A = this chain, B = another copy of it.
């Protein structure tokens, strides 16, 4: 069934025939109809399955806040690295790309992503930044906005280094590419400097 996702990502929903996915799987076309009855149902099932898996991966990446207040730069570097690793995970990258390409034609897909994946991860992130700020490690007056900046920087860095986001599916970059690591550290550095206490207030 990962094969179906792969095909939907590579060719899009409209251009992917059930014969294609049958050829890519050990079952035949009729078996697919027996199980799902419908191309649309198959598609939604594929989305649903990988959505759950992706949520699990993202949860693991973002739910590691230590009990003791960490050094913000060290901790945020680790966090950024875990988020990046999730973004570059083949399944996540494929799912994001698929939601991106089919989302405009299927608004409920975007909504599913937002409700089931983005929202919980988002609030976890906001909570962590709020804790860092509350502990005095960072000067943040609006954790939600700061989370937006953090995600924009991490996401943008990965985006800019992977050919507009499509690269990750076809040529997954090495996680330990030193250029990627340096870019990520630089982005986190900017974030930490910009929210360091002792600066002008973070407006």
Contacts and interface: CB of A to CB of B under 8 A. Distances in A.
A114 B15 CA distance: 25
A94 to B, nearest CB: 10
A110 interface: yes
Nearest to A169: B104
Copies of this protein in the complex: 2
Contacts of A110: 163-164, 166
Q: Name the prevailing secondary structure of the A interface residues.
A: helix
Interface in A98-142: 100-101, 103-105, 107, 110, 114, 142
Interface of A: 9-12, 14-15, 97, 100-101, 103-105, 107, 110, 114, 142, 145, 148-149, 151-153, 155-157, 159-160, 163-164, 166, 169, 183, 185-187, 189-191, 193-196, 199-200, 202-203
